[in-house]
Amino acid sequence: MFLSISTLFAAHAPYPTNWKSFQKVNTDLAKIGSLPDCKADVSGLSPAFQETVKMFCGAKEGGPGRVEILVNDITEFIERDVSYKDGTTFILHLVDLKLLLVTYYESGRILYATYNEDGTFVKAKKKTGLNPRDCKRCHTFYDNVCSFGQCGTHGKFK
């Protein structure tokens, strides 16, 4: 009972213990394969990708490195019809940094959080791409590639 109450009132997404069973998807970000550092010329990329690089380049000198996009339910990811089941649906896995950026739904509310692969919550500074406020801002602003918190050109976004 305590776990469900604490999760209900958490300000961030809970750690997805089953994240290794999620399916990798091949979005445009995954096709790039890694995120570059702040010195990279990304002027030819879409504004959403430029912002992504800008936000994440501060996570580590040289850039955060390899990325994977993981989804819990591929049908929900493709359809994106805003009726997501409660739970973790989407994870941006920063492979080289061993970090999970989690998108979680709870009664229609979207929560974000960053964890180490082992489940340790990461309290991130602003403008590193690792702060839940950074996630929310980008995932709601770029509605041409994001729908109700899910981003990427896949399914209905092609």
Chain segment 104-139, per-residue pLDDT in tens = 988 888 888 889 999 999 886 666 667 667 667 666
Domain count, the chain: 1
Element (H, E) at 77: helix 74-79
Question: Do 36 and 57 form a contact (C-beta atoms < 8 A)?
Answer: yes
Residue 125: inside a domain? yes
3-state secondary structure of 72: coil
**Pairing of the two strands 150-151 and 146-147:** antiparallel
SS3 24: strand
> Per the domain annotation, does 155 fall within a domain?
no
156 found inside a domain: no
**Dihedral sign, Cα of residue 116, residue 122, residue 96, residue 135:** positive
Whether residue 158 is contained in a domain is answered as no
**Taking the model in full, what pTM does it have?**
0.80
Domain membership flag for residue 121:
yes
Q: Which domain holds residue 87?
A: 2-150
- 141 lies in a domain? yes
Q: Is residue 26 part of a domain?
A: yes
